[in-house]
Chains A and B, each alone.
Chain A
Amino acid sequence: MEKKLNHVAVPSSEITPQREYISRRDFLKAMGIVTAASLLAACAPQDPTTNPPVTGAPDRPLGLPPQMDELGTQSNTFEEITNYNNYYEFSTDKGAVASLSQGFRTRPWTVEVGGLVHKPKTFDIEELLQFEQVERVYRLRCVEAWSMVIPWTGFELNRLLREVEPMSSAKYVRFVTIQDEEQMPGLSSRFYPWPYTEGLRLDEAMHRLTLMATGLYGQPLPNPNGSPLRLVVPWKYGFKSIKAIVRIELTKELPETFWNDIAPQEYGFYSNVNPQVDHPRWTQSSERRIGELSRRETLMFNGYGEEVASLYSNMNLSVNY
């Protein structure tokens, strides 16, 4: 298993020479997980009803580790992360989302969690913000072949799912984005199957790396990035990481997902980052890291193979793309 992975992945030595093998424990540490206490203290006295404007780099709270991913790459800037967003509910123009989403209201906000669970519950966003918050510096690889490194804060999705107690018949998790025509001008386009929906297999959803992001750079999640609550699945293409979630549902059947519905041959349910399986119309073997001039090679599972490859050990990844 491990061996097989080494064949497909670009050895990390190629990216950061002289770097030693990272043990699982160090991997966690390197990912920059901090305790709830220090984080809550760092961003406590904010007015929760308004998000900070998306310009101006925020001061990094003291005590946080450097905003570096475990491969040693510095995070993209706050400006970059908040001014280049695929968020079609507002606009198909990645540069226009920041201004169009500026007045988006993220309070009051509730998230309905139901389906095949023993304890269905509608959570208020404030309740979810009480869950243990961690910081994760993740690479985000867009299917359009650009990427960023982003210091998210949030909680592990498994924390939320355990709360509602999935039934043994639950196999998948379905997520739904808010569909508010008044606030989201992009929803008037008839070319898309609104609302945006996404899905994960239950074991993917329960995985330790699967994050419900509530902030970035230690600040409440900015609107263009999916405020107040978005999914982050770092080993999958960015479109799987659904934004502004209002409903989570556990299902028996594989849920329909937005891009898969639009072009099933092009956007599979799994959509794991995979340099060997090309999108039918363009290549996925390399990517442009925002802020860099030359392209980088794309890593198998976006560099998270060590953690997640076992989820797919019996699957043919060119069939289950």
Chain B
Amino acid sequence: MKKKRITWLQVSIHLLGWLPLARIVLDYYSNALTINPIQEVTQRLGRLAAYFLIASLAATPLHTLFGWREMLKRRRALGLYAFMYASLHALMFIGVDYGFNLGELNTILLKKPYALMGMTTFFILLPLAITSFKWFMKKMGRGWINLHQLVYLAAVVDIIHYAWAKKGNLLALSGDILQPLLLGILVVLLLVLRIPPVRRWASGFRQKFSRQRRILKKT
């Protein structure tokens, strides 16, 4: 049997996964969560969920563009961190901010588009997290791949959620939209790189490039 080696990438991902949470706890005890700590924590958790979601989406393109094969193995960890922060974000909003006030939450979650989009993202990520184990992967076969392609939708809906929670107008490019705009551009790029012709072109480009380098090395 092959011995499993722990790689630097693995260590970094898990450090990056837990450090922001540790930072929130630390900031809580040192009173560094602004004057409005509940909102600050909710927003931080939401941003972290988006960052990890985008990082998980970046794995395949990083392989396509740079031949970074190990990234493909790390998709699961990145996706699960995204789910962890999304869950904490939702729990913070529902439980701490609104104190499980179901009457008010009902109207918010069903009528307010930004909350609806956030909830949609969460409920897309939920089955993906549950079926992230190897056992499901083997059991579900082709269906597993189809199901997990829903992550593309989750990312798009999440960006809309982010933009709609801010004071601005993403379509008119006005207001407080810089961050959702940048993340949105990133998501679009990462999705475009998956379109088969684009992907072939990108990986062909990479192979040509590495072949030239090999030739250069030899001479």
Which residues of A does B touch, CB under 8 Å?
79-80, 83-84, 88, 92, 94-95, 143-144, 146, 189, 191-193, 259, 261-263, 266, 278, 280-283, 285-286, 288, 290-291, 293-295
Contacts and interface: CB of A to CB of B under 8 A. Distances in A.
A134 to B, nearest CB: 26
A281 B35 CA distance: 24
Given A262-B168, A263-B172, A283 B35 contact: no
Given A79-B35, A83-B35, A290-B36, A281 B164 contact: yes
B108 interface: yes
A139 to B, nearest CB: 16
Contacts of A189: 178
Interface stretch (B67-75, B79-87, B96-104): B96-104
Contacts of B99: 294-295
Given A191-B178, A263-B174, 13 more contacts: A88-B176, A94-B36, A191-B176, A192-B174, A262-B169, A263-B172, A280-B113, A281-B112, A281-B164, A282-B114, A286-B104, A288-B36, A294-B99
B145 interface: no
Contacts of B108: 282-283
A83 to B, nearest CB: 6
Interface of B: 34-36, 38-40, 97-99, 101, 104, 107-108, 111-115, 164-165, 167-169, 172-178
Nearest to A285: B104
A283 B174 contact: no
A178 to B, nearest CB: 21
Contact of B114 (A92, A281, A290, A295): A281
A177 to B, nearest CB: 17
Task: Identify whether the interface residues of A are mostly helix, strand, loop, or mixed.
Answer: loop
Given A79-B35, A281-B114, A283-B112, A191 B177 contact: yes
15 contacts: A83-B34, A95-B35, A191-B174, A191-B177, A191-B178, A192-B175, A263-B167, A263-B169, A263-B172, A266-B169, A283-B108, A283-B111, A283-B112, A288-B38, A290-B36
Contacts of B178: 92, 189, 191
B39 A288 contact: yes
B97 A295 contact: yes
Contacts of A283: 104, 107-108, 111-112
Task: Identify whether the interface residues of B are mostly helix, strand, loop, or mixed.
Answer: mixed
Contact of B167 (A80, A83, A144, A146): A144
Which of B35, B97, B99, B176 has the largest count of A CB atoms less than 10 A from its CB? B35
B165 A281 contact: yes
Given A191-B175, A263-B175, A143 B104 contact: no
A262 B104 contact: no
B87 to A, nearest CB: 21
A104 B175 CA distance: 24
A95 B34 contact: yes
Contacts of A84: 34-36
B69 to A, nearest CB: 39
A146 B164 CA distance: 18
B167 A143 contact: yes
Nearest to A193: B174
A80 B175 contact: no
Contact of A290 (B35, B97, B168): B35
Which of A281, A288, A294 has the largest count of B CB atoms less than 10 A from its CB? A281
B130 to A, nearest CB: 30
A227 to B, nearest CB: 19
Contacts of A94: 34, 36
5 A-B pairs closest in CB distance: A84-B35, A95-B34, A262-B175, A262-B174, A263-B169
Contacts of B113: 280-281
B74 to A, nearest CB: 31
B179 to A, nearest CB: 9
Contacts of B111: 278, 283
Contact of A146 (B36, B168, B173, B175): B36
A123 to B, nearest CB: 32
Contacts of A92: 176, 178
A191 B34 contact: no
A264 B204 CA distance: 48
Nearest to A82: B35
B139 to A, nearest CB: 41
A153 B174 CA distance: 34
Contacts of B104: 283, 285-286, 295
A222 B61 CA distance: 50
A282 B107 CA distance: 10
A288 B101 CA distance: 14
A138 B176 CA distance: 27
A141 to B, nearest CB: 14
